[in-house]
């Protein structure tokens, strides 16, 4: 049962970050409720990878069996040239204790694991059809306002309401996104549609080119083996920041004209392609005001080039719960959370944006320079310097 001496927490948003926060709080005896604007719980998107820094939090919640059952552990991580397919292996699973092979899965699977866990810890914790429109702080209480005219009152409020966060807007004003002149594609391919060589090894591969890159890796939905497809291409004619906009196979194939046949084959067999414009936002100098703070995309949205968006939200969830457990004053706890997380997430968001210039480079378009450039960027030493500091972080132990 929740410790009644601890704060009662309102969470706006039942995405992966909001649910991870609820699970982390409830596991520590801190009562909470989650308010979600949608009429039903479903996670959009295709695949994701849960890197070891995010997995540590999930495992710490006792969810390792569920995560392992839903994921495939990539046998290797590789980079390939967009046209020739020349390959560089960054690491292989089991090759060293620092290989850090990601656990690859579908967003819907991770979402479902967290839904089941928070409902196990507190049945009925998720309230649907509750679109947040704002909040007010009244003494030692926070009031969350909803579009249907109702309110909820708690001791602390966490805005986990995503890119277009109403909590962020109310607390800090509008933070418009800047278009990166890049369009993202995503989709899933039933593995049975692809040639046999796609199924020989569970490899997470990033194909790099002069103006675009593609990441593919296997996943499994129940008994169906799938290939996830995510492609980013430099285009300035699509500026809609929406995950639900559908695109056509023909348009996507045209964006990757001249690419290796393996990439084209995956695109041509992809089901339900979606596209969205990629935007970045200036980092906030602070996330917390009084008894209200932000989490995940609401405070540090990032382009997906380091694969860390969902992992940062999961880390946030763990750290904010640890701070609310440790400090008696909720406002102090939220400042400690902010101090523990702001520099790391800002650095990762900046590094993610910088990777666009690394993945998309003119040298990759010239056969004379392509291999040399790839070798300079993805040799083992460079890969360790780029990624190990991300993966070595442990949100369950970092000082708060």
Residues annotated catalytic, as ranges:
217
- Measure the CA–CA gap between 76 and 89, rounded to whole angstroms: 7
List alpha helices for the chain, DSSP H. Answer: 16-27, 52-60, 64-70, 107-121, 166-172, 249-255, 261-268, 297-300, 309-326, 330-359, 370-378, 380-391
Q: Kindly calculate the radius of gyration of the chain based on its CA atoms and give it in whole angstroms.
A: 21
- Measure the CA–CA gap between 36 and 30, rounded to whole angstroms: 19
Phi-psi region of 307 (alpha: psi -120 to 50; beta: other; left: phi over 0): left
Q: What are phi and psi of 7, to 5 degrees?
A: -70, 155
For residue 77, the cross-strand partners are: 91, 204
The string of DSSP letters for 355-391 reads HHHHHB-GGGGSTTTHHHHHHHHHSHHHHHHHHHHHH
What residues have CB less than 8 Å from 288, skipping those under 6 apart? 294, 331, 334, 335, 337, 338
Judge residue 321's burial from the number of C-beta atoms within 10 Å of its C-beta, 0-12 exposed, 13-18 middle, 19 or more buried.
buried
Determine how β-strand 47-50 pairs with β-strand 103-106.
Answer: antiparallel
CB-side neighbour CA atoms (13 Å) of 31: 12
């Amino acid at each position: 049962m929740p410790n009644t001496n601890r704060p009662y927490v309102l969470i706006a948003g039942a995405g992966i970050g909001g649910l991870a926060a609820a699970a982390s709080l409830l596991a520590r005896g801190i009562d909470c409720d989650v308010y979600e604007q949608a009429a039903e719980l479903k996670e959009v998107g295709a695949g994701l990878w849960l890197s070891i820094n995010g997995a540590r939090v999930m495992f710490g919640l006792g969810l390792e069996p569920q995560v392992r059952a839903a994921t495939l552990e990539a046998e290797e991580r590789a980079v390939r040239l967009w046209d020739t397919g020349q390959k560089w292996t960054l690491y292989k699973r089991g090759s060293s204790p620092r290989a850090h092979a990601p656990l690859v899965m579908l967003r819907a699977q991770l979402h479902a694991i967290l839904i089941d866990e928070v409902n196990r810890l507190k049945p009925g914790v998720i309230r649907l059809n509750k679109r947040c429109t704002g909040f007010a702080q009244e003494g030692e209480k926070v009031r969350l306002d909803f579009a249907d005219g109702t309110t909820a009152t708690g001791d602390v409020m966490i805005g986990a309401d995503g890119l277009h966060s109403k909590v962020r807007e109310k607390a800090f004003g509008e933070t418009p996104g800047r278009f990166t002149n890049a369009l993202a594609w995503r989709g899933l391919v039933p593995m049975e549609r692809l040639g046999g060589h796609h199924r020989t090894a569970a490899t997470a591969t990033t194909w790099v080119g002069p103006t675009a890159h593609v990441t593919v890796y296997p996943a499994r939905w129940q008994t169906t083996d799938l290939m996830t497809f995510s492609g980013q291409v430099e285009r300035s004619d699509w500026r809609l920041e929406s995950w639900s906009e559908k695109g056509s196979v023909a348009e996507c194939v045209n964006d990757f004209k001249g690419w290796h046949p393996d990439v084209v084959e995956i695109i041509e067999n992809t089901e339900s392609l979606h596209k969205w414009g990629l935007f970045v936002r200036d980092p906030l100098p602070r996330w917390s005001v009084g008894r209200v703070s932000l989490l995940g995309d609401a405070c540090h949205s990032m382009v997906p080039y380091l694969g860390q968006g969902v992992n940062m939200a999961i880390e946030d969830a763990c750290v904010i719960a640890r701070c609310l457990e440790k400090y008696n004053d909720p406002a102090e706890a939220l400042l400690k959370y902010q101090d523990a997380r702001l520099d790391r997430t800002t650095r990762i968001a900046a590094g993610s944006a910088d990777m666009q210039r690394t993945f998309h480079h003119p040298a990759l378009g010239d056969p004379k320079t392509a291999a040399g450039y790839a070798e300079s960027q993805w040799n083992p030493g460079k890969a360790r310097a780029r990624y190990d500091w991300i993966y070595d972080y442990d949100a369950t132990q970092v000082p708060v």
